[in-house]
Amino acid sequence: MNVFHYRVAGFLLRIEAPQGQDLPARLKNLAPFFLESCSAAESPLFTLRLAQKPSPGFFAPFFKTEDGPGFPEITIGQSPKAYRFRFSALPGRPVAGTLDTSKDFSQASLVLEGVDDVFALNNAMMLQFAFASALEGALEMHASVVMNGDKGYLFLGRSGTGKSTHSNLWLKHIPGTELLNDDNPVLRLEKDGTARVYGSPWSGKTPCYRALDCPVGAIVRIRQAPFNRIEKLSGVQAYASLMASASSFRPFRELSDGWHRTLEGLTGKVPCYILDCLPDREAAELCYHTVHG
């Protein structure tokens, strides 16, 4: 058995693969998070095993994504003691992998079908991470995040609204800016009550896989507009803005309660804004001078 350890957002992850199966070692997005060694006393957030066949038993259909063309398709089934996830890279594509997890998501096995193996492993890890960390104060966010000075700034918004564009405007026009992650950073409410944002092995179409983290300076929701204007959100508005971009799944009641506790804690710690903007330098400078100050 080959064993691979990674640290993502402060959590230890353990991947087990049969001898000769080196897929985790070949994934460049995982490399910055790889650990040469770790303490045997530290328990992993989760263990994911690459298996030859799915677990036996019947899994009643539970949920199916309906994001449409161009998006992955995931179906979920459940049994009294486990969940089963089946991944397809696109609607109509063959199933790439079958993931069976314990109800607390701490243990899972993944069967790769030989098509889209990289997609299946990455999505299995993303999903298991999002659910296993739900009670630990962590949120996978659909966001682009930059670092400037010693703070991180998250840009939220629906797909196509300009999150990556706004990050690129900061990179071009705001000195000292670096990209931390362009699609799936991890936002974490630490035990001491502070908020930090972490890079992750998952960054959408932009290959930005950085094992770095920093305190959160602000969170900004981007909306396209024919003008540039920024406003600070109230507590309720900030909560709704964060919830809309957090990877969560409300039918998992216990996990949903954990996500809501984290969201409530974050809205009391982090200033949140809405930026109506054009894709121009003035928008980046307006945002920077408002949130950085």
194-219 CB burial, b ≥16 within 10 A, e <16: ebbbbbbbbbeeeebbbbebbebbbb
Residue 66: band (very low, low, confident or very high) from pLDDT cuts 50, 70, 90: confident
Residue that is last in its domain, among 132, 151, 181: 132
One domain, residues 145 and 117: no
Q: Are residues 197 and 145 in contact, defined by beta-carbon separation less than 8 angstroms?
A: yes
SS3 137: coil
One domain, residues 15 and 84: yes
The domain total for the chain is 2
| Closest to 136 in 3D by CA, of 261, 266, 251 | 261
One domain, residues 147 and 285: yes
The domain in which residue 197 lies consists of: 138-292
pLDDT of residue 23 exceeding 80, the answer is yes
Task: Please compute the mean of the pLDDT values over residues 77-92 and round it to a whole number.
Answer: 92
One domain, residues 169 and 57: no
pLDDT per residue as tens digits for the range 170-193: 999 999 999 999 999 999 999 999
Q: Rounded to 5 degrees, what angle do the CA atoms 134, 135, 138 make?
A: 50
pLDDT at 179: 98
One domain, residues 160 and 106: no
Residue that is last in its domain, among 111, 132, 153: 132
One domain, residues 256 and 158: yes
One domain, residues 288 and 144: yes
One domain, residues 65 and 172: no
One domain, residues 108 and 178: no
Q: What is the CATH number of the domain that holds 222?
A: 3.40.50
One domain, residues 279 and 162: yes
The predicted model scores a pTM of 0.94
